Chain A
Amino acid sequence: MAFLTLTDISKYFGGVAAVERFNLDVEKGEFVSFLGPSGCGKTTTLRMIAGFELPSSGTILLDSEDVTYKAPNQRNVGMVFQSYALFPNLTVGQNIGFGLQVRKENEAVIKARVDEMLGLIHLEQHQNKYPYQLSGGQQQRVALARALAIQPRVLLLDEPLSALDAKIRVELRLEIRRIQQALGITTVYVTHDQEEALSLSDRVVVMSQGRMEQVGTPFEIYNYPRTQFVAQFVGQLNLLPITGLDLAAETCLLAGQTVQFEHHQSRQLSEAPRLAIRPEEFRLGALEGCNVLSGRVETVMFLGAVVRLRVEVGGLLFSADLFNERNITPPRVGEQIEISFPVHACWLT
């Protein structure tokens, strides 16, 4: 049986649904992310696990115990907030020891745990500083240590990196994953940043408008998006109108040029199906066994690791990402090019 189970959880604020029929099993030690645009109900779901909001319906089981209506201070669940929320009047050490002090642990135990946590987050020298003396990244690591010091059953993080600079965000992301794996702690992580969700998680829950769109490993979510929302929200996606659809032959026409695709019978098609291709599937030139389009380069954007082209084919515009290499010559604007993508890389939605 799963360690954390949310069954049919819904939450209404004054009749408006913030979360609807949310179902999730999280295994012990698993790292699960909630990914979705702002306002889709991620925080609300997390706060129901922490006990700060009560579900309008549904149940939450934690380690086989029904905690749906349990008070937040009875749950033994650790929470890290986007704004750090360190107690400004307490030092780093006192912040980390707060939960144990509340539990009336003896001083020696508290001191040992605080030292252990400071070691874990590499802030040993900062024990006696106040939060205002630390940088944002350091404060968030203290908040993480504070949440972990009580040995919570589950660790909850609500966009913990959103307030930090890009570079520190990436470093701290690795830190969080390292610590999570070292402790083997069950973790639920909320983010609107797909890169964070994909790089950190064992599984990702993609949410939209209070509903779960798809649950799966980062690989599944990215490569086999089950809804158009997921396909578009996670990663870049070209969605191109088609004509001359022949499902039996698995072919269609894209601006008059024939394209071969792979169709899965299970997939429901919309009224006016479109062809979906990720930008990174394209290669320059006419490759053997691939779909080949010929078009005109509209823009060339150099992004560092990739070169992003906007290509026009018979009035349709799409993005194509080419890997940057020092010895390639990227196409120029206005140039006529041939560009290929594998048959298995595109699908109809």
Chain B
Amino acid sequence: MSSKQNFAVNEKRDAPQARPAPLPWRHWLGVGPFFLFAFLFIFLPSLSLFIGAFQDASGAFTLKNFADLSRPEIVDAYWVTIRISLVTAVGGGLLGFAMAYGVTLGGLPAWVRTALSTFSGVASNFAGVPLAFAFIATLGRTGMVTLILKLVFGLNLYDKGFSLYSFWGLSLTYLYFQFPLMVLIITPALDGLRREWREAAENLGATSWTYWRRVALPILTPSILGAMILLFGNAFGAYATALSLTGGFINLVTIVIGSQIKGDILHNVGLGYAMAFGMVIIMATMMTLYYLLRRRSERWLRP
């Protein structure tokens, strides 16, 4: 008997398992609150948003709200929001990746890793009014760091064109919660790179660069992109930080929606709904991408 036959017979993958019996309904009880919440606070609002987007002030059906989305100031709002989300997702993503690399594969002492992950856990949730005030107190026109730079180093940030209340100032502020989120998401992925892969590559003659290009990066790419999409969404939906930092000076989509829905001057609820609907579409697209990418990397890494 040839060994080929042997292997064919003996190494079949596990046969598909029998379909399990349907679960009794009480097994669903534990996740009941989750579905209730999802229904009340995700599904219902989305539905009313969807309906409201097609209604005018009197409640009659209209497509005008969607037509209004093409108004220059609305397009600008989307554009600046997408830009700031992209910049802080990529910037925070790269910075977070570098830090996570340092504490996982970079051979830094273990306490650095503990410190970084504790900090990241806290900082990734630090946003809104407190974050804005923290940055105003340090990098504002009369902030600590601004003053120290001016008095000690003779460097006047605001004369050089920097402003905390500008696009880049807001991006910098966002980075404070963006890169820690990246650290939290990407560290497990870096831990998942097995030492043997690097050694096998080296053993076959590869340099460190070749290993990263041909093996490590392709394996990590879905995780990195997926993480960056989460960062994008994180910045895309932010509202309070930008509002309290710039006081509406930068017209993010969320800020415009806020003023359309509850503002006195620009009151147009239908347009606000249509804009929110636009955000949902953009985020849904992002999440679909994320899901597809993650599925690909998980397939590879199935044990």
Please list the residues of chain A having a beta carbon within 8 angstroms of any beta carbon in chain B: 50, 52, 71-74, 76-79, 81, 83, 85-90, 98-99, 101-103, 122, 130, 132, 135, 137-138, 143, 146-147, 150, 167-168, 171, 174-175, 178
- Using A99-B205, A135-B11, A168-B11 as known contacts, say yes or no to A89 and B215 having CB atoms under 8 A apart: yes
What 0/1 pattern do residues 191 to 230 of B give for CB contact below 8 A with A?
A: 0001011011111111100100011001100000000000
Q: Which residue of A lies closest to B200 (CB)?
A: A85
- Check if B34 is an interface residue, CB within 8 A of chain A: no
| Number of A-B pairs, beta carbon distance below 8 Å | 94
A102 touches B210 (CB 8 A): yes
**Is B196 within 8 A of A171, CB to CB?**
no
9-residue interface stretch from B102-110, B162-170, B261-269, B294-302: B294-302
Asked if B288 CB lies within 8 Å of chain A CBs, one says: no
- Would you call A102 and B197 a contact (CB within 8 A)? no
- B11:A81 contact, CB within 8 angstroms: no
Contacts A102-B205, A103-B205 hold; do A171 and B3 have CB atoms under 8 A apart?
Answer: yes
Report the Cα distance A86→B200, complex, angstroms: 8
Most B CB contacts (10 A, CB to CB) among A79, A85, A86, A150 go to A85
Chain B residues within 8 Å of A76, by CB: 205
A86–B199 Cα distance when bound, in Å, is: 11
Q: Which residue of A lies closest to B204 (CB)?
A: A99
A79 near B10 with CB under 8 A, answer no
Interfacial chain A residues near B197, Cβ < 8 Å? 85, 87
Give Cα A137–Cα B10 distance, bound, in whole angstroms: 10
Question: For the complex, would chain B's binding face be called helix, strand, loop or mixed by DSSP majority?
Answer: helix
Q: In the complex, A168→B7 CA distance in Å?
A: 8
Neighbour of A132 across the interface among B206, B215, B302, CB < 8 A:
B302
Besides A88-B219, A99-B204, 20 other A-B contacts (C-beta < 8 A): A73-B202, A73-B203, A73-B207, A76-B205, A79-B199, A81-B196, A87-B197, A87-B215, A89-B218, A90-B214, A98-B201, A98-B206, A99-B205, A122-B4, A135-B11, A137-B11, A138-B7, A143-B200, A150-B205, A171-B7
Shortest Cβ gap from B105 to chain A (Å): 16
Measured CB to CB, the nearest residue on chain B to A137 is B11
A-B complex: 6 closest residue pairs judged by Cβ atoms? A85-B196, A99-B204, A135-B11, A88-B300, A122-B4, A85-B200
In the complex, the chain A residue whose C-beta lies closest to that of B6 is: A171
B13 contact set on A, CB distance < 8 A: 135
Q: Are B203 and A50 in contact (CB under 8 A)?
A: yes
Q: Are A79 and B203 in contact (CB under 8 A)?
A: yes
Docked complex Cα distance between A38 and B245 (Å) = 61
Whether A85 lies near B199 (C-beta < 8 A) is yes
The CA of A78 and the CA of B199, in the complex, are separated in Å by 11
The answer to whether B300 and A132 touch across the interface, beta carbons within 8 angstroms, is: yes
Q: Which residues of B contact A101 (CB under 8 A)?
A: 214
28 interchain pairs (CB within 8 A)? A73-B203, A73-B204, A74-B205, A79-B199, A81-B199, A81-B200, A83-B194, A83-B196, A85-B194, A86-B200, A89-B215, A90-B215, A98-B206, A99-B204, A102-B201, A102-B206, A122-B3, A130-B300, A132-B299, A135-B12, A138-B7, A138-B11, A143-B200, A150-B204, A168-B11, A171-B7, A174-B3, A175-B3
The CB with the most chain B CB atoms within 10 A, among A72, A90, A150, is that of A72
B95 CB → nearest A CB, Å = 25
Contact B203 A137 (CB under 8 A): no
Residues of chain A within 8 A of B300, CB atoms compared: 88-89, 130, 132
- Cβ contacts under 8 Å, A81 to chain B: 196, 199-200
Name the one of B200, B202, B205, B207 contacting A87, with C-beta atoms under 8 angstroms: B200
B202 and A88 contacting across the interface, CB-CB below 8 Å: no
Task: Pick from A52, A98, A171: contact of B214, CB below 8 A.
Answer: A98
B206 to chain A, nearest CB (A): 5
Cβ B302 vs Cβ A168 within 8 A? no
CB distance from A207 to the nearest CB of B (A): 22
With A85-B194, A132-B300, A132-B302 as contacts: A52 and B199 at CB distance below 8 Å: yes
A154 CA to B299 CA, complexed, in Å: 34
Contact indicator A146/B204 (Cβ below 8 Å): yes
Q: Is the CB of B299 within 8 A of A102?
A: no
> Pick the contact of B203 from A78, A88, A178 — CB < 8 Å?
A78
The residues in B between 215 and 273 inclusive whose CB is less than 8 angstroms from any CB of A are 215, 218-219
Q: Within the assembled complex, what's the spacing in Å between the Cα atoms of A86 and B13? A: 18
Cβ–Cβ < 8 Å partners of B203 in chain A:
50, 72-73, 77-79, 147
Bound: A89/B11 CA distance, A: 22
Which residues of B, 1-43, contact A by the 8 Å Cβ criterion?
2-4, 6-7, 10-13
Chain B contacts for A178, CB-based, 8 A: 3
Residues of B within 8 A of A73 (CB): 202-207
| A79→B12 CA distance, assembly (Å) | 26
- A residues in contact with B219, CB < 8 Å: 88-89
Minimum distance in angstroms from B302 CB to a CB of chain A: 5
